[in-house]
Amino acid sequence: MEQNAIYELLAGHLGEGALAWHEDAVEPWAEIAPERIADACLFLRDDERLDFNQLMCLSGIDWDGYDENGKGKSVAILGYTDEGQPETTDRTADGDLGVAYHLYSHAQRHKFTLRVRVAREVAEVPTVSHVWPTAAWHEREAWDLVGIRFAGHPDLRRMLLDEAWEGHPLRKDYVMPAMWEGVPMEGRPLAKNPFPATEPATGDDGPGGPTPPAEA
C-alpha cells in the first residue's frame, strides 16, 4: 500500500490533531503525539488492511543540536582525548528526544515509519511492547542508551550497560566516564614521544629505537 494511503488510514483512526505527515523526505514519516503511539501501533497492527506485524526497528534519538535544514551543524560529541582523558564541555543539551518506529507487514509487504518526539525533561513514551513483543528489548535499549522511559514497559532495565551505569551514552552531551566501578575507562597516554631530546633510547624491548641488534 502506498505510504500516503497508510497515513490516511492512520489519520482516520487517530484524528488529525494527533499526527503530522512528512511526505517529501527520503522516507516519509508520520509524527505522532507521544501519548497516542500505543494506540496508533495497535491500530496499525490489527487493521487487516495494514497488518503491520513486524516492528523492524525502534530507535531512540537525541535530537539535540540537529539542524533541520541540514547544514551539517550538529554539535560534536564528546570522546576521549588522545591521552585518554574524557573531554568535557560547558554546553548543556536542550533538544528533544525522540523515538522512531519502523514497521513492516509480512502480508501486505509495505513499510511505514512513525516518530514521536518528547521533551527532554519528560522523556517518557508509552510502550509498544504489548503490541510487538520484540519492542521490549528495543525499548530497553532506548532507555539504556538514550534515556527515554517507556511507560508501561514490563521490565524496563538497562539492556547493554550495567544497572549501575550513570548517564545515557547516546545523549549528545554525554561525558565519557573516567572510571566505572573500579574499572578504568580512560585510556593511558601512549602517544608520548619516546625520544625526548636528550635521553638515549635503550633496551632490548625498548620502543622501536634506532638500535637493532646486529643481524647475523
Min dist. Cβ of residue 211 to another protein (A): 8
Nearer to another protein, 36 or 171 (CB): 171
DSSP letters spanning 19-63? EEEE-SSSS-EEEE-GGGHHHHHHHHHH-TTT---EEEEEEEEE-
Q: How many helices, marked H, and strands, marked E, lie in the chain?
A: 3, 9
If you search the block for the grid coordinates 534515556, which residue do you land on?
147
Please state the closest distance from residue 36 (CB atom) to another protein, in A.
Answer: 19
Q: How far is the CB of 9 from another protein (least distance, A)?
A: 18
Compare residues 17 and 92 and give the one whose CB is closer to another protein.
92
**167: alpha, beta or left? (left if phi > 0; alpha if psi -120 to 50):** left
Give the shortest CB-62-to-another protein separation in angstroms.
7
Cα 153–chain centre separation? 18
Q: Which is nearer to another protein, 17 or 129 (CB)?
A: 129
Nearer to another protein, 49 or 188 (CB): 188
